[in-house]
Amino acid sequence: MIIQRHFYYGKRQAQILHTRLRTQCSSLNYDLYQKNITDSPMCRCGSIENLQHFLLNCPYYHDIRQDLLQTITQIPEANVQLLVNGNINLLLYGNKSLTYEINIKIFHAIQSYILRSKRFYLDSIDNIDVHVRSPVDAWFPIGIHLTDISPFQV
């Protein structure tokens, strides 16, 4: 399998999230439900939270979706492809028949949408039930502190 060059476009975090959506390994509730990780595939708006819903239908992302669609419709070749396909494949994969420049415009638009949605980030740190350690503690096992270590110990 040859990976298209435009798959490497964008910020690393955006690339990862975009790839997870493409491979159905995202934290969308439908993807998690399919893997028996969550009890429900439902979105907080009441619909099934699958990829189609997240990209095209969820009311929580209406404003940024309008920006995405406006950007895509300004790319004549992409707009025609989106209308012909009638699905989201163009947003996920681009199209080999389009130039690299057009594909990266499409990827820039969809990756911007993904990041701006903030769907794949923690909404609140309050929901985490773990012991948060300082960055210095990460270098040492729990219970050992910098003051316990001699400068001559390795």
Indicate the burial class of 4 (C-beta count within 10 angstroms; 0-12, 13-18, 19 or more).
middle
Give the model confidence (pLDDT) of 80-118 as tens digits.
666 555 568 889 998 888 899 999 999 999 999 999 999
Q: Note the pLDDT of residue 97.
A: 87
CB 53 within 8 A of CB 42: no
Rg (CA), the chain: 21
Tokens read off for 56: 């095209």
pLDDT in the model for residue 26: 95
Summarize the confidence of residues 63-73 as an average pLDDT. Answer: 91
Confidence band for 58, pLDDT divided at 50, 70 and 90: very high
**pLDDT tens, position by position, 117-140:** 999 974 433 343 333 444 444 444
